[in-house]
Structure 1
Amino acid sequence: MRHQTRFPRTALTALAFAAAALTMHADEGIPEVTSFEPTPLEQKIFDGPGVTVTRGEDIYSTLCAGCHMPEGEGAVGGGMYPALAGNEKLEYPDYAVFIVLNGYKAMPSFAHTLSDEQVAAVVNYLQSGLGGNSYEPAATVEQAELSRPQ
């Protein structure tokens, strides 16, 4: 009986010791951040109200690559982020324009973030420049304008 009560006490003591050791060394070697200097691309992106870059590739790398991955390979983690490289739904731009502007499931709407020109640019990049996609870039500003949520 004595052995059974001693084990949890020993385990708790060991855990407390480990936690104390980790806490003591947690701050060593980590510089304190007192200011933030944006990269040149970050300055270009956020220089003024909203997203200011206009090239589809820049818009993708800024807003989309964090979830869909840099080459559009997609990911599964805190959610399901479909692959955009090789995605047959991108052959025609209407679908992608609608999703970018209105969102779908975990994908947020970018209607208040991107202009019609930026939406067309990023969809054209998805169609013809991302991850080996070779669809004809066919998204237009008019499609984006018509697909905006009311």
Structure 2
Amino acid sequence: MRFQTRTTRTVLTATAFVATALTMHADDGIPEITTFEPTPLEEKIFDGPGVTVTSGQEIYSTLCAGCHMPEGEGAVGGGMYPALAGNEKLEYPDYAVFIVLNGYKAMPSFAHTLSDEQVAAVVNYLQSGLGGNSFEPAATAEQVELSRPQ
């Protein structure tokens, strides 16, 4: 019985504290946000459905660099994000096309976000423009179309 009383008292105290804090902040004159104005970069990236940038480097910077890092060096933190720079699996485009379209482990699928041309562009960038990779860029939009999940 003593435990129930202490728990009830703790819950009531916490509730009163939260209510007081919310009331204090409501009167601080913080403006309520009723509209959203995208930045010029956000407008360029997300103008219409999906991602509208078309260069492989811009797509990588927009969607991939947050996890795989700007130069493809990879990272370990809240998860493991493999290095793409120096990654021998990128020598042939089929592997990267499959991963971009279907996702893998914690990486999401981008099949519904990127067009065939955009997937080919980012894969070609991974092969020859990222972090010193010097593989022959070989991905095509036709190859991506054939690889898309049905």
Q: TM-score, normalised by structure 2?
A: 0.75
- CA displacement at 1:78 relative to structure 2: 1.3
Q: Aligned letter for 2:55? A: R
- CA displacement at 1:42 relative to structure 2: 1.5
The residue number in structure 2 matching 1:45 is 45
- The correspondence of residues 13-28 of structure 1 with structure 2, limited to 5 A, is none
The answer on 1:60 being equivalent to 2:25 is no
Runs of 4+ residues over 6 Å off in structure 1: none
Partners of 1:66 and 1:48 in 2: CA distance: 22
The residue number in structure 2 matching 1:80 is 80
**Residues paired across the two proteins, number:** 122
- CA displacement at 1:55 relative to structure 2: 0.5
Residues 32 and 122 of structure 1, relative CA distance in 2, 3 Å threshold? farther
Q: Aligned letter for 1:84? A: L
The residue number in structure 2 matching 1:14 is none
Secondary structure class of the residue paired with 2:145: helix
- CA displacement at 1:32 relative to structure 2: 6.7
The residue number in structure 2 matching 1:143 is 143
The residue number in structure 1 matching 2:125 is 125
The residue number in structure 2 matching 1:99 is 99
Partners of 1:46 and 1:108 in 2: CA distance: 18
Residues 32 and 134 of structure 1, relative CA distance in 2, 3 Å threshold? farther
Deviations 1:13-33 (CA, angstroms, capped at 9, x unpaired): xxxxxxxxxx9xxx9xxx878
- CA displacement at 1:143 relative to structure 2: 1.2
